[in-house]
Structure 1
């Protein structure tokens, strides 16, 4: 069974690139969202295994959205950004997210490694 993912980012270009990359790596992208409102609705509607959530949404904070998603859906949340983890480590650690993955390191393999052996059944 492959992992299904919801990608939340305000960049249409990133959404397209991330979808193609993850699907090539065997992760099924079931939806995308550009705002917090869309993300909450899609998370309830689609019940993804994973939500890949950008920290900086246009005019919104992914860090503020993460707890709302955690209360609304049973998905694992992974934060992503172009900011180095060193700059935001405490914020990520205080969030309900399972972890952080820099956008430049995004791949199916990197997500599976971050999620650990408990999620091994999601291998392609």
Structure 2
């Protein structure tokens, strides 16, 4: 199935570069362009893309506001498109604003072409996408909080640490994972997508998706960010 993409950026040169990246992939296709947030919303309703690549800084209606309109007040038929925010600026306020507005992910414009293409595919599937630098800072911010301020994941009792251990003699739920699942968890914690993990481990993308779901279930977690946080706090990434 071809993923249909709408490009929203106020710079024509950027849109041209993005179009080249997207259309060089057989499974991706650009269906339209927009030069500001107002146009992005209108073109999305008209063209019904699967993914909107949305710039943050645009004149008039910003990318964040356009994202909010598309995700919370979708006026078109069928499901709303996924919004993947692109920006030159690796700043926390943009990340937070975009995610609060309903974006499925956040990527920098200087990302390698293959990573951008992979991010589009991931976003189309409804999976979160974060630039590795953003993932790292998000994890650092949350794991620096006192344990008492960290949210309790489903199935975890009060007083248990984020890695699920109740004490020094408790191996925690990580012991329930297979060696291959631990490998997947480590790569996930490094910010890699399912496709990138599959390539690194010689698996199919479907197999990786299944393993990620199994990891979340076994660890009693809700999403990939929680899993990444657990892996970092447990020291898996630093020793991989």
Bin of the TM-score, shorter chain as denominator length: 0.7 to 0.9
Residue 58 of structure 1 deviates from its aligned partner by 2.4
Name the SS of the counterpart of 1:14 in structure 2. helix
Q: CA deviation at 1:113?
A: 4.3
What residue is the counterpart of 1:68 in the other structure? Answer: 69
2:20 aligns with: 20
Q: CA deviation at 1:37?
A: 2.3
SS of alignment partner, residue 21 of structure 1: helix
Query: CA separation in 2, counterparts of 1:69 and 1:109?
Result: 22
Summarize the alignment of residues 105-124 of structure 1 with structure 2, pairs less than 5 Å apart.
105=111, 106=113, 107-113=116-122, 116=127
Superposition deviation, residue 87 in structure 1? 4.9
Cα distance in structure 2, aligned partners of 1:37 and 1:89? 21
Q: Larger relative CO (CA 8 A, sep 6+): 1 or 2? A: 1
Residue 91 of structure 1: aligned partner: 97
- Report the Cα distance in structure 1 between the residues aligned to 2:37 and 2:95, rounded to whole angstroms: 22
Max Rg structure: 2
Structure 2: gaps spanning 5 or more residues: 128-193, 195-204, 207-240
Report how many residues are paired: 119
The aligned residue for residue 5 of structure 1 is 5
Structure (1 or 2) with the greater strand fraction: 1
Closer, same or farther: CA 113–47 of 1 in aligned 2, 3 Å: closer
CA contact (8 A) 1:47 1:75 kept: yes
Output one character per residue of 1:6-41: Cα deviation in whole Å (capped at 9) or x when no partner.
Answer: 010000000111011111023100000002222122
State the Cα RMSD in Å: 2.2
Give the TM-score of the pair, scaled to structure 2.
Answer: 0.45
TM-score by length of 1: 0.83
3-state SS, counterpart of residue 46 of structure 2: helix
